[in-house]
Amino acid sequence: MKKVMFVCKRNSCRSQMAEGFAKTLGAGKIAVTSSGLEASRVHPTAVEVMSDIGIDISDQTSNALSDFKAEDYDTVISLCGCGVNLPEEWLTREVFEDWQLDDPDGQPNKTFYRVRDEIKERVKQLIINN
């Protein structure tokens, strides 16, 4: 089973939603973790917009990338263009992608919904390709 790391700046919104989709849509197909260049919190609006479609991410935690080892993962997905700030060992995994999605933090709820739906489509493709 492929191990996937979703990484973002603060592991608050985008990477948390990606983790929720991957755990739900990829159950039994991929193992998934999310982290941030720094840890913060799981954004309440991210929890809300995921709950609206039946995915509960309220028990997920915000974790720092430095808490993990790159060699434990096959695929690394940056959701925010932060790939340029990642240590080299994270960029040289079997698969590295930088999705560069808008940060919904501080934006209207409609932005959260749009970004959530973009993440869902990309995660579905990721699962198909793994």
pLDDT tens, 50-106?
A: 999 999 999 999 999 999 999 999 999 999 887 778 999 999 999 999 999 999 999
Q: Which amino acid is at 78?
A: S
Alpha carbon distance 109, 62 (integer Å):
21
- Domains of the chain (ranges; CATH) run 2-121 (3.40.50.2300)
Q: What is the pTM of this model?
A: 0.96
Asked about 82 being catalytic, the answer comes back as: no
Choosing from 80, 101, 126, 127, which is the catalytic residue? 80
Q: Residue 8 catalytic?
A: yes
Q: What is the pLDDT of residue 81?
A: 83
Catalytic member of 8, 32, 79, 126: 8
Q: Which residue has the tokens 């080299």?
A: 88
Instruction: Encode the chain in three state secondary structure.
Output: CEEEEEEECCCCCHHHHHHHHHHHHCCCCEEEEEEECCCCCCCHHHHHHHHCCCCCCCCCCCCEHHHCCHHHCCEEEECCCHHHHCCHHHHCCCEEEECCCCCCCCCCHHHHHHHHHHHHHHHHHHHHHC
Longest Cα–Cα distance of the chain, Å, equals: 38
Q: How far apart are CA 34 and CA 7, in angstroms?
A: 6
What's the CA gap between 38 and 111, in Å, rounded?
Answer: 23
Q: Summarize pLDDT for 22-65 with one digit per residue, the tens.
A: 999 999 999 999 999 999 999 999 999 999 999 999 999 999 99
